[in-house]
Structure 1
């Protein structure tokens, strides 16, 4: 039998927006009789037309556009509208996954022969790009942070491309939020950890447990001088919800 802890977990803060509909966290709350709050620690802001003009990029000068997320797609077509630019019907769109590709229907008339997508993995997407390397000049839509490995891949393989930063990640204002009342906080991005310290420069972890998803997020927790209590994924669990549930069980 697991030894009972002096500070049992009764309240959890998940640094993401609250899921729509039912989620695994509902089962955790019911099973372990804990309260779970959701609060995104970061927000996405669109780059202004004035700032984008400084990059001197005309979307219609590119025959291919890369989208790694729906956010990227939304901000690209927002900027096209602000620039009063209509993309050519011959433009090819390369998307990381089918779900992102289908989202194109929100913005343009969907033409299968002009839309290409991977299976959701970076490996398959890189293979896709290599297959169509001769398709023309590429515009890579990205944020100011976390551009991933695609730009380096395009450079290494001598693609003709340009990055277009159309949105940026900024800390959420948490000044009216008391994070010290939670027994466990779950982070999913290094920027979430940075947001915590941005909002609370004098934050002290004390007995609060910290869970982090992904190697970069885990490293950000350690770099911030905090104790990492739960690293996800691992051999034991793949998801944050499963990891938290098991962790509570092991607390006794």
Structure 2
């Protein structure tokens, strides 16, 4: 029976979150507890990379953190992002999040369907004339860089935020009794192992968002029971809903 689900993200700010619908429909309890914190670089730290935001005609966003920190740094550095800037996002939910900072309809916004960067690259390749900036976390690999190099796209990666572990208290460790753990990044999976070095999965179900997270789950000797996004289930909440319905049957 799945009764208590740990969602490794901050509590949703909206009352209309699909996770609250899951609670009502399936009688489960969703506990929101981020496994790591994201800290934005200061403008001073960012300047050390010698990157001028206005040298680029397009930005590639792989997460909401990247969006938040891109616009935060622009504001701190008193840079006005041009109206004709193009935005390329790995999935529509991230593309829609840009509305927090700019008017959606006026912009040129492109997005992939699967949440994977390799699904977005062919769309970017149709805009070969652009100069792409790719904001990233301090923890990243060269997969994106290699893919864009392969397509001979003009691009530059930069670090805009860092990821630090949000360690569990002794009390939290003693009360760690969940039927399911939901991860959204490789860092979250690694933070679980850092806080609980002897963690054994047993009957605990694991949900992983994104191919890199799924891969890290396997590398840590665990197995994912739910994987998202997919064409059928673009969000984690829709994948969980389908999984819980299937279990009921």
After superposition, the Cα gap between the structure-2 partners of 1:152 and 1:23, relative to the gap in structure 1 and judged at 3 Å, is: same
C-alpha contact (below 8 Å) 2:61/2:134 kept by paired residues:
yes
Gaps of 5+ in 2: 234-238
Question: Is residue 134 of structure 1 aligned with residue 129 of structure 2?
Answer: yes
Distance 2:112 2:93 in 1: 9
Q: CA deviation at 1:245?
A: 4.8
C-alpha contact (below 8 Å) 2:217/2:224 kept by paired residues:
no
After superposition, the Cα gap between the structure-2 partners of 1:55 and 1:32, relative to the gap in structure 1 and judged at 3 Å, is: closer
Gaps of 5+ in 1: 1-7
Give the structure 2 partner of residue 85 of structure 1: 79
Give the structure 1 partner of residue 236 of structure 2: none
Task: Map residues 50-199 of structure 1 onto 2, 5 A cutoff.
Answer: 50-89=44-83, 92-96=85-89, 100-101=94-95, 103-104=97-98, 106-108=100-102, 112=106, 115-121=108-114, 122=117, 125-135=120-130, 137-146=131-140, 149-175=143-169, 176-178=171-173, 180-199=176-195
TM-score, length of structure 2 as denominator length? 0.73
1:183-218, CA deviations, whole angstroms, 9 ceiling, x for partnerless residues? 3333333221111122233x3327451313255434
Task: Give the structure with higher Rg (CA).
Answer: 1
Instruction: Give the SS at the match of 2:139.
Output: coil
Question: Is residue 209 of structure 1 aligned with residue 204 of structure 2?
Answer: yes
Distance 2:60 2:201 in 1: 44
TM-score, length of structure 1 as denominator length? 0.73
After superposition, the Cα gap between the structure-2 partners of 1:119 and 1:159, relative to the gap in structure 1 and judged at 3 Å, is: closer
